[in-house]
Every structure is written in structure tokens, then in C-alpha cells.
Structure 1
Amino acid sequence: MTETLQTPEVSKNARALLSADQLHVTFPGRRGAAEARAVDGVDLDIAPGEIVALVGESGCGKTSLARTLLGLEKPTTGKVTFAGKPLDYASKALKSYRKRVQLVLQDPSGSLNPRHTVYDAVAEGLRIHGYTGDEREAVSNALSRAGLRPPERFFLRYPHELSGGQRQRVVIAGALVLDPELIVADEPVASLDASVRGEILALLLRLRDELGLSALVVTHDLGLAWNIADRVAVMYLGRIVETGRVEDVLTSPQHPYTQALLSVLPEAPGEPVVLTGEPPDPSRIPGGCRFHARCQVLADGRADEAGVADACRTVDLPVLTGAATSQVACHWAAAGAEDSGDSR
């Protein structure tokens, strides 16, 4: 049965704004050690106006993937495509690309220079890119879009004079001032109080609706993904192991890793799944399913009952396609789908 495991036949999304195609990113090992496979075969598409949440625990490779999509890391193999064209790594081309794809970091205090006023922080991108229009008007519009109104009231303030939520809005305004088509938000509300998290998430959704802005939201928080994303991609040890519409993945997770992540949410039914051990070293990725050493389904005998335990330990799984369909890389989930007649 394990020999017939198939990758879903889905063509690449022709409408994708940003795509990763068979992306691999490796880093040299220390003192002659094996290289670390931070991103180990990823296909991912983000359509215009779509918000995709990239979810996984620390060390799974999601930040390395995000940096590669931004052009901050060059892939070892594979390619990044934006608006139908492969990413050009020449400095002039990257500068143009980064005007269209902007980064929003998780810590607004660390993102903002304490010696710069709000006006200078937002205007910095315009000056780097040689903006020739009305700088004051552009800064004012960006601050207004980010919810800081009236914007003139904030021009001469310094970061220490703002609340955490206001600082994050300034960071978002600094990205918006260049009229990007896509933002990559790395844990955009992780450092904020619960009282303002919802406000920032609502702002990102409003920007998508009003500006047609696309976003990749990198997070370990499945609750955030539920509240903001159209699709979710769950990453483990360098690969996406489950992807699909956020409603499908988070209400009916197929991969044991996704199930474990969801089980620890406060509102989750039943007992939380406690994974044993730490994620394997990315320089020594195990054979078979890369999750098998920590998998609760293998540990409790359900994989044996489905007849896939040996495959879990020895047979590699395919890279999921980047298309916007529900997919899972799991021998046990595939066996369950076959038994139920599901064509997943």
C-alpha cells in the first residue's frame, strides 16, 4: 500500500503573486559537520489579495523560508517567482523587488530606531528608494492607513512615547508607504498585549480588503492563523506537512503534528498531545516521515493498525504542491483516506 502513495495532481497556481518552487536552503555545518537543511523542499503559492499563515514550532524552518521569499537568503536550489518572473538577485533588481514585497517584524521596539521620530521612521523607505513625490503626503497617508490619526500628531514623536500597539502601527506604516503588493509579517502580534492583538489583526484584514494586499504571516500561533488567514501551511523540519483552507486544516487536521499543535489550544477538546523529545537536528533529518520519531500515532499503535508503521520509518513522503488545495504528507492519513474512499 505504501508504494502507491501519490502526490495530488494539481497544476501550479497560474494566478499566484509569489511562489516557491522546490525550494531548498542549506547552511554549512560547523567544523566540518553536515550541512543544515533549513528548508528542504517547499512549494508554496500566495495569490493576490490572499493571506497565508505559515505555522510551526521554533526551529521548523519557517523564518528561513520567509527570508528566502524576501530575497534575504538565496536558495541553494529551487526558485522564487514573483508576478510570474523568477527573482533576480542582482542588487538593483532586489531593491526594486523589496519595494513591492515588504517585511513587518515581530518586535516594533527593535524595528524602530529610538533616535528617529515617527516621521523619519516611515519616510526612511521613501528616501532609500529615491521617492520623488510629496514625502510629507506619502508619510501622512501611510500613517492614516495604519490607523494613526490624525497622522500629524505623531510626526515628531519618538518610539518610547508610543504604546506597543502604536509602535507596531508605525512599523506597518513604514511598509505601506512604498505601496507594496505583499507583506511578510513575522509574528506580527507576538510581542503585543492581548488587548491590542485584535486591533492589529483587524488592521491587516482591512488593508487586504481596501488595498488588495497579500500577506504571508509567519507564526507559531494557530489561533492567530484562524483569525486572519485564508489558507494555512503547517511546517515541520524544513517541509510543509499539511496545507489547505484554514477552516479545513484547523477544524479537521489530518497530520498528527497539526493535531498535536491544535490539541494544546485552550478551547481544544480532549487531552493535549505532549510530543516527546525535541525536533531532530536539520543536519540529520531522519529517513521516512521526518516526524516519525515524535509521532503519537506511531507511538500508540494506530500506524501499526493501519499497516503503515514500517513506511512511516523508512519511506520518504512527497513534497506537497503549492496549489490552494487541501493536502497532507502523512502515510497514516493517506491510508485512512484510501480506506474511506476519500481521494485526498
Structure 2
Amino acid sequence: MTDETASLLAARDLRVTFPGRRGGGSARAVDGVNLDIAPGEIVALVGESGCGKTTLARTLLGLQKPTGGEVSYRGTPLRYGSKDLKAYRREAQLVLQDPSGSLNPRHTVYDAVAEGLRIHGEVADERERVADALSRAGMRPPERYFLRYPHELSGGQRQRVVIAGALVLEPTLLVADEPVASLDASVRGEILALLLRLREELGLAALVVTHDLGLAWNIADRVAVMYLGRIIETGPVEKILTAPEHPYTQALLSVLPEGGTPVVLSGEPPDPSRVPGGCRFHVRCQALASGAAEAAGVAELCRTTDLPVLDGRGTLAACHLAQARVALPTPAASGERGDVEPQG
């Protein structure tokens, strides 16, 4: 599914830096990211606030020009001329966290959904397409909502209108930035079910940006965990959320119900203009603090040796300890009987 020839959207060594404050070093918001999204695939991009998730999403949509690296769509590098971006944004649509902020309070539901068609000059069958988009988003019968204003709708209904505004252009990819974070718990499940249904009915791919690993479990095929500008673990959702390799992912999961003893990370994520040497997580890493990395003989590597950018395929963790465990010989490789229990 993640073979490059089959990728709908791909990022290669993507980097975005912003000027530092008061003459300080540049902030590395996205610091070397490889990511693939296949047609019809839902990828969850998870991590703490400030880790670079939203900047990465904006860059994938062409809203932010990368400092380095490349974004490609259907194998063609993204170009940043106005005509090129307009054509691309017809295919890739953004769904924001706060539907109230996404909708103009002076525009009716009909005008909000029709806006994309008017921008792209596709008004010949406007009414029919607006009605179809609202219907697909669960606003039925759609005509009932045409003349309503955002303040007359519930939060869930407003989010459905935002989704309808994205669907009206018949895109192939949705980028949803915290799509249910501002909604009541009773409505979140409905919106997630809607996104899954749209994937089944329309073959839509989606990148869902979230800090909520429970949401990722319910909706995603794959998970990419981001920390300090870089993806530090990626793989199928079942593998990452049941047997994570990276200590950061383990800490994120520990706070979920039935996640075991919560792991309290020390301090805050480092300043992206001062990314620490070695593993970028080592200053907060519970495996290093507990002595597990020392016992595995990788503590000095954790402190001094950076890890390569993950290639975006398979199940991978940018962690010296995880890689050391993978490198340990299996009983079969070391000539031991398969029924002998491993020691230590």
C-alpha cells in the first residue's frame, strides 16, 4: 500500500524552517519527513501540541512552501505557481478543527458549500452538486439547510457543512486537522463514522492530524508518530497502538484507558530552534532515565548519535534501543532449540 508507485501523496525529506526570534537560530518545524498516503488510505499523524503536525499538514496541502525536500501528488512534484496550486487544491481539501472559525457567519449553508465551485468556475450544476455534497455529509434533506446560517446549527452540523464544502469539488484526499477536537463526545463518533463511510463510498484518502490516539485507533489504517519536527515511529495502526517500539509512543499510549501505568515525561519538548544532539527525544526518554538503554549498551548512542529519517514505509522506529532489540539474535539464529525460553 505504501509502494511509491502507488502513492497518492508523498513527501520526501520535507523540511520547513522559520526564522528564530530575536536573532536566534531557525526553528525546524518540520525537520526531515518522509510520508506516503496511498489511494483510499487513512493515515493518522499523532503527537503533542507543537511537534509540527499542523505545519506538515499545511505543507502537504501547498499552503506552506517547504524549505527543503519535495511533495509529490500522483508521482508529480508539487509546483507553487498559482494555477498549479489551484488545480492541486481541487484534489486535496482541508477540514479544520473549529467549524465555527471555518464558516463565514454571514454566509448561508448553501453559499458556504458552493464557495469552492465558484472559485473554480464550476457553477453549471451548482445546486445539484451542493445538495449532493450536503447529503453525503449527512445533512438530509439538504434543501432544509440551504438558507440556514452557522449560528442556527449545532457543532456537529457545522462540521458536516465544512466536510460538505470539501466534498463538493470531488477531491481524492482530505487533510483533517483535529476534525473532532471541538465537538462533544456524543458527536465525535458520528463524524468519524462519516469519514470512514466517505472512504468506502468515494475512495477518499485522508490524513487525520490528531493528538488523540484513541481516534487514530478508530479510524486509521496507519499511524505516523511525530516528535520535534520528525516522524519517529510509523506502521499499521494495530502494531503501533498495541506494541509500540519507541519510548515516546509508549508514553503517549500509557495515558489511555487500559494503557497501563502512566508514563510521566520530564519537562517540555525542546525548542525547535535548539534540537538536541543524538536522539531528539533522549532528554525526556524514560528508557534512558530508567537505565534500560544503558543495560542494552546504547545509552551513549542515544545522547550523541542522531538517527536517520524514517523512509515512511513498513513498521519503523527511530530509536537506538528499539533497533538494538531488533538486532538481538533469535534462538534459531544462534543455534538454540526453539522451545528454550530466552534468558533475560
Q: TM-score range with shorter-chain normalisation?
A: over 0.9
1:85 aligns with 2:114: no
Contiguous gaps of at least 5 residues in structure 2: 334-344
1:237 aligns with 2:228: yes
Q: 2:94 and 2:246 mapped to 1: Cα distance?
A: 30
Structure 2 residue aligned with 1:339: 328
1:302 aligns with 2:292: yes
SS of equivalent to 1:14: helix
1:225 aligns with 2:216: yes
Please report the TM-score for the alignment, with normalisation by the length of structure 1.
0.95
- TM-superposed CA distance for 1:266, in Å, is 1.9
Q: 2:76 and 2:292 mapped to 1: Cα distance?
A: 45
Contact 1:19 1:82 in 2 (8 A): yes
Q: 1:273 and 1:132 mapped to 2: Cα distance?
A: 54
Structure 2 residue aligned with 1:158: 149
2:198 counterpart (181, 196, 207)? 207
1:319 counterpart (304, 309, 327)? 309
Contact 1:146 1:172 in 2 (8 A): yes
Structure 1 residue aligned with 2:14: 23
Q: CA RMSD in A?
A: 1.4
- TM-superposed CA distance for 1:123, in Å, is 0.4
Q: 1:267 and 1:328 mapped to 2: Cα distance?
A: 23
Amino acid corresponding to residue 326 of structure 1 in structure 2? T
- TM-superposed CA distance for 1:341, in Å, is 3.8
Q: 2:290 and 2:12 mapped to 1: Cα distance?
A: 35
- Report 1:1-344 matches (<5 A): 13-269=4-260, 271-323=261-313, 325-339=314-328, 341=330
Q: 2:153 and 2:78 mapped to 1: Cα distance?
A: 37
Structure 2 residue aligned with 1:6: none
Contiguous gaps of at least 5 residues in structure 1: 1-10
SS of equivalent to 2:94: strand
Q: 1:17 and 1:340 mapped to 2: Cα distance?
A: 38
Q: 2:287 and 2:135 mapped to 1: Cα distance?
A: 50
Amino acid corresponding to residue 53 of structure 2 in structure 1? K
Q: Give the 4+ runs in structure 1 shifted more than 2 A.
A: 340-343
SS of equivalent to 1:207: helix
SS of equivalent to 2:328: helix
Q: 1:267 and 1:340 mapped to 2: Cα distance?
A: 32
Q: 2:325 and 2:225 mapped to 1: Cα distance?
A: 20
- TM-superposed CA distance for 1:59, in Å, is 0.7
Amino acid corresponding to residue 180 of structure 1 in structure 2? P
- TM-superposed CA distance for 1:100, in Å, is 0.5
SS of equivalent to 2:274: coil
SS of equivalent to 1:179: coil
- TM-superposed CA distance for 1:171, in Å, is 0.2
Contact 1:12 1:321 in 2 (8 A): no
Q: 2:288 and 2:185 mapped to 1: Cα distance?
A: 37
Structure 2 residue aligned with 1:4: none
SS of equivalent to 2:287: helix
